[in-house]
Amino acid sequence: MRDRPSGDEHWLVRSSTIRRLWAGAGVVLALVVALDLVIDHHPYFGIDGTPGFGAWFGFGACVVLVLVAKALGALLKRPEAYYDD
């Protein structure tokens, strides 16, 4: 691995790259939701046939997972001096 000068940032850390990644992710999400309007659905439960179901269900599941992880972390957290003598 080569050494970088102190001012030379990795390409994933640059703010311009982060903006491009966010814009690209937004475009991909918009395309997937737009294509979802065109696809013929065969829903099993009814709600899974709504437009954009995969997008909002996936987002909701991610939010629930983060909240459960936060609660579990708070429940299992040890004191800072846990391993001290």
Report if residue 84 sits inside a domain.
no
Domain of 19 in residue numbering reads as: 15-76
Report if residue 61 sits inside a domain.
yes
DSSP, res 38: H
* pLDDT, tens only, 22-79: 999 999 988 988 888 888 888 998 888 888 888 889 999 999 999 999 999 999 988 8
Report if residue 24 sits inside a domain.
yes
- What's the pTM value of the predicted model, to 2 decimals? 0.60
pLDDT of residue 22: 94
Total domain count, the chain: 1
Tokens for 53?
């179901």
Report if residue 85 sits inside a domain.
no
CA-wise closest residue to 59 among 31, 37, 29: 29
Report if residue 21 sits inside a domain.
yes
